[in-house]
Amino acid sequence: MSLFGPSRFSAGSAQHERGSAVIETALMIPVLLGVTMVFLTTIQLGITAVQLTDTAHDLARALARGESQSQINEQANAQAPNAQLTMSNTEASVTVTLSQDIDIPIPILSRFSFTFERSATAPLEQI
């Protein structure tokens, strides 16, 4: 017993704290899911950028070795089917550029899109 008599708030405050914990958890679950989705999307975009870079490099080397443009187009369609391929030549080198439009698969951010563009240049190989 306290100085002022029995406390009538002790039982109510325990229920209040339990209710607060439930509300905090209910609010944090969507936030954590959103952060996880953004994190996974960022990883996916990074992987796409690396794959485009590797594909552009492979295509530039193959073109520099003398493979035909039709073979390069087939290889580009196999390795990066959603990318647009641009090839250019100079006297000493070839440049391959791959560009791909990326849509963010998160519903809130779905209206935002951007383009990854990766280029690779390889010196012409003399036979």
3-60 pLDDT, tens digit per residue, is: 555 555 555 555 556 667 788 888 899 889 888 988 988 898 899 999 999 999 999 9
Range of the domain at 102: 10-123
CA distance 38 to 32: 10
Q: Which residue has the tokens 């954590």?
A: 32
Tens of pLDDT, residue by residue over 71-126, are 999 999 999 999 999 999 988 999 999 999 888 777 777 777 888 999 999 999 87
The reply to whether 47 falls in a domain is yes
What per-residue confidence (pLDDT) applies to 107? 73
Q: Is residue 48 part of a domain?
A: yes
Domain count, the chain: 1
In a domain, 75, yes or no: yes
Q: Is residue 59 part of a domain?
A: yes
By the 8 A CB rule, do 83 and 76 touch?
A: yes
Cα dihedral 51, 52, 57, 59, rounded to 10, equals 110
Residue 4 lies in a domain: no
Instruction: Note whether residue 118 is domain-resident.
Output: yes
